[in-house]
Structure 1
Amino acid sequence: MLGPHVVGVRVVVRRLVRGETGPSGGPAMTDLLGMCEAFGDGVVVVRPETGVPVTIPLDDVVSGKPVPPRPSARDRVPARTAQLRGFALFPDLVTGEVGAWVLRDSATATARRANSVLAFGPSGVDDDVERVVAHYRRPVAAVLAGSPEDARLTGLGWVPESHEADTLFQVAGTAQVARALRGVDDGEVEVTEDDGLGVARVGEAASGVAAHDQDWVGFRSLEVSPAHRRQGLALRVMSALVGWGAERGATTAYLQVLADNAPALALYDRLGFRTHHRYRYLVPATVR
């Protein structure tokens, strides 16, 4: 599975270690993972993730194959951690703990992610569900789709909070988004700060909100009035907000969108956003 076609591709190569004996008494072997830089003239050259390129004689190659690219650092961030970054979008958010679960309450926001328990992963406490039900007038739980918490709450009689599709948490590099928006004129977009949030507006026609936390910038409430749609205003607002986040050192951008919102997904795909994780909201059947 090795050859000139793997140059520029991430590969793993198993090779002999000359002069050494393996645990079974036979030849010693070792694996090398990295980017294939050259193949030919009797050698394969592999650059590991750290260190200098390694030249391996083809006679020493036992086996090898291409492997998928290493996920980016932002893709390796756990879903729960990504959700915690999103708390910055709601400045008045009050949080509490039920073990590892996070109670979320906002006096001003109506969004479910600001008024529900983040139940990503086991809570670690026995009476977690009872404590969630006691905390909220209308209990809502955010769970990863298909997770053990999803199955557990469903088994206890919890049902989807609405008929809406699952929510997709999407991420992209701010530099990648900025490149995709190159040429978009955001000169008419007014960007102000309100309670630490970046608020972008094009008069009464379009608006959006951004929040910065560490090196992440998130977006919500991207809206264009019906009379002004299909004029590129959403791109102008997004361009201004991405610039606002980049000025504050953000390298990762994120947003959340319903899985059946085809127009929005098409737009975000063009900007470089990819789904990091999918989650849904559940409520006890008695409060739906």
Structure 2
Amino acid sequence: MHAMVSNPNLPLVRRLEAVGFRAWPASSVIYDGSWQVRLTGGHPGKRLNCIVPLDPSDSRDIAIRIEKAGKRFEAHGRPLLVRQTPLSPKPLIDFLVADGWERFEEVVTMTADLGHMTFPDTLDHLPTQDVGRYVDADIAVHGGDAALKPALAEIITGIKPPSGLFVIEDAAEGPLAAALCVQDNDLAGIMSLAVRADRRRQGLGIEILSSALRWARMRGARTAWLQVVAENAQALALYRKMGFEEAYRYAYWRKASA
């Protein structure tokens, strides 16, 4: 019931998790043993507000550590979430099940060999240096809350590795698609990609994805990676078409409502 991919490549999982933390930085990160406790006061994103265990053998004092983290999340006004990856200790997951938690939102982490990737013959877009322009476009195409603009701009400004901010705009209609690519040495992570709801299935997704990956490959990246919600069949099909394959999955746990 709670199984992830069988026999995932744990060194790869560790590397992609570490790269992912740098590519989408939380404003507060503390460690309780090997559990990373991530909190971001200005943004409610789950990746930015969760406990992420990073050692399958670190399962001491689970109840005490969960309670302690819960108080920290409560002080930030955030729901307590645990992010389960193949690095999570099994006793922790057993504890969550017994304590009435529920598992939700499974996410597929995928990788692709950039060196052998063939790109479709689409218009190539160059990244913008204007964080505000990118953030406006990202919120518009996601249909997001404009009040989150300062927090999203702070997150993107806080990304240490080189970042490519890609936007497809129409003079009359405004932003149509947006993508964020973070290049961390030989790895290129697509941290966000969205096409406006009324302009999907028109090739814009593959156009902006190709632009981002071309940019990363030119800068020396050899492997691309991304994360997509397991239920998003359309996105999974697009990424598989581009040569991405599943590396591992993660999911979130929350205390079930009474």
TM over 0.5: yes
Name the CA shift for 1:125/1:247 in 2 (closer, same or farther; >3 Å).
farther
Quote how far apart the aligned CAs of 1:92 are.
Answer: 5.1
Q: Is this contact kept in 2: 1:175–1:251, CA < 8 A?
A: yes
- Residue in 2 aligned with 1:141? 82
- For residue 16 of structure 2, the aligned residue among 74, 77, 82 is 82
1: CA distance between counterparts of 2:28 and 2:223?
Answer: 24
**Further displaced range: 139-148 or 129-138:** 139-148
State the alpha-carbon separation in 2 of the partners of residues 88 and 183 from structure 1: 32
Residue 155 to residue 214, structure 1, CA distance change in 2 (3 Å): farther
1:75 Cα deviation (Å)? 5.0
Q: 1:183 is matched with which residue?
A: 121
1:200 maps to 166
2: CA distance, partners of 1:214 / 1:100: 24
Give the drift of 1:76.
5.8
Retained in 1: the 8 A contact 2:110–2:226?
A: yes
Cα drift, residue 173 of structure 1: 1.5
**2:107 counterpart (146, 161, 167):** 167
- Structure 2 unmatched runs, 5+: 1-7, 132-156, 170-174
Matches within 5 A, 1:1-288: 77-91=11-25, 93-120=27-54, 121-123=56-58, 125-126=60-61, 127-137=64-74, 138-144=79-85, 148=90, 149-160=92-103, 162=104, 164=105, 166-177=106-117, 179=118, 181-186=119-124, 189-193=125-129, 194=131, 195=157, 196-203=162-169, 204-286=175-257
Question: Is the CA contact 1:99–1:125 (under 8 Å) kept in the aligned structure 2?
Answer: no
Unaligned runs of 5+ in 1: 1-73
What is the CA–CA distance in structure 1 between the aligned matches of 2:249 and 2:190, rounded to whole Å? 17
| Structure 1 CA distance for aligned equivalents of residues 231 and 97 of structure 2 | 22
Over 3 Å counting, the alpha-carbon distance change for 1:247 and 1:128 in structure 2 is farther
Deviation at 1:263, TM superposition (A): 0.8
Which has the larger share of helix?
2
Q: Equivalents in 1 of 2:27, 2:163: separation in Å?
A: 13
Distance 1:197 1:107 in 2: 23
Q: In structure 1, the residue corresponding to 2:214 is in which secondary structure? A: helix
- Structure 1 residues 141 and 122, CA, compared in 2 at 3 Å: closer, same or farther? farther
Change in Cα spacing, 1:167 to 1:129, as seen in structure 2 (3 Å) is same
Give the number of the structure with larger relative contact order, counting CA–CA contacts within 8 Å between residues 6 or more apart. 2
TM-score where L is the length of structure 1: 0.64
Deviation at 1:114, TM superposition (A): 1.3
TM-score by length of 2: 0.71
RMSD: 2.5
Q: Is the alpha carbon distance of 1:255 and 1:101 closer, same or farther for their aligned partners in structure 2, counting shifts above 3 Å? A: same
* Shift in alpha-carbon separation, 1:238–1:229, aligned structure 2, 3 A: same
Q: Secondary structure at the match of 1:185?
A: coil
Amino acid at match of 1:170: M
Shift in Å, 1:151: 2.5
The aligned amino acid for 2:67 is E
Partner of 1:205, secondary structure, is strand
What CA deviation, in whole Å up to 9, does each residue of 1:123-164 have, x standing for no partner?
35423222221221211000137961323321222212x4x4
Is the 8 Å Cα contact of residues 99 and 124 (structure 1) preserved in structure 2? Answer: no
